[in-house]
Amino acid sequence: MILSLRNVSYSYPDGTPALRDVNLEVRSGEIAFVLGPNGSGKTTLLLLMAGLLTPTEGGVTFYGKPLGNWFRKHCGILFQDPRDQLLAPTVWEDVALAPKQLGLDEGEVMSRVEEALRFFGIEDLASKSPLRLSRGQAAKVILAGLLAHDPEVLLLDEPWSSLDAEGTEHLLELIKLFKERNRIVVISSQNSDMAAEISDTVHILKNGELVMSGLASDLLVRVEELREIGIRPPLVPSVSRMIFPADPPVLRFEDLLDRLERTNSRSSRP
């Protein structure tokens, strides 16, 4: 299972270019982060990957097939402002929308909705109008709907911007669950620390161009390059670079701690 972009460019209706000649692919079981400064094209890229925008040039495929209306059953997306995608009269009906569109029987729909509401701790919102929700509550409702849908491709646009600490923990559990189910997860964000914590691959945009793409463990330790692009490097490699300027930075806290312990051990020897 591969979601692939080949030579994809996109321009807005007024002719302003948003993305230029982007090539990337995301595979089953992979958590991919799209990082970049404001205005770099991250949201546009996610909308192209969802099939909600059509490339000006190039193409997006899933299972080698060009995206179309058929792809909606396979893909779920969280917008940057989740309140923009709440459609039904009640929260329960909103979470049930996607399962119903899959043609599931009533019992399965009810089971999925109830499980999803419990997962995010929002059972008390079930009968509430989506119009009366806070942004954080709206995000949890959309995420619950994505869990009930269980798509093969999960796309999240700046998901942590709407969530409190508890919501963030639930989201991380959801992402872990989708990885365990061998789904594709793509996250657009400026949160390089979260990318360092959970991503497998990273794709970095600047001014609509893909300037870096590869394993998170390779790219997120390039502290100086990230700063030049306009991305705040993750904390651990930044601290690693400060403490051990002569050594390659490390990405994980555990690796930094190990390096500190080994350094202290050597310095304490007689």
Domains detected in the chain: 2-219 (3.40.50.300), 234-270 (no CATH)
| Cβ neighbourhood burial of 67 (10 Å; 0-12, 13-18, 19+) | buried
**pLDDT number for residue 268:** 58
**pLDDT number for residue 270:** 54
**pLDDT number for residue 269:** 57
Q: What single DSSP character describes residue 233?
A: P
**pLDDT number for residue 255:** 87
Q: Are strands 75-78 and 153-157 parallel, antiparallel or unpaired?
A: parallel
How far apart CA 249 and CA 235 sit, in angstroms, is 11
The residue ranges of the chain whose pLDDT is under 50 are none
Q: For the chain, give the longest Cα–Cα distance.
A: 73
Tens digit of each residue's pLDDT (9 = 90 or more) over 167-177: 899 999 999 99
Q: How far is CA 185 from CA 155, 198, 245, in A?
A: 6, 11, 34
CA distance between the termini of the chain: 57
Q: Which residues pair with 9 in a beta bridge?
A: 57
**pLDDT number for residue 263:** 82
Tens digit of each residue's pLDDT (9 = 90 or more) over 176-190: 999 999 999 999 999
How far apart CA 252 and CA 232 sit, in angstroms, is 16
**pLDDT number for residue 158:** 93
**pLDDT number for residue 206:** 96
**pLDDT number for residue 22:** 98
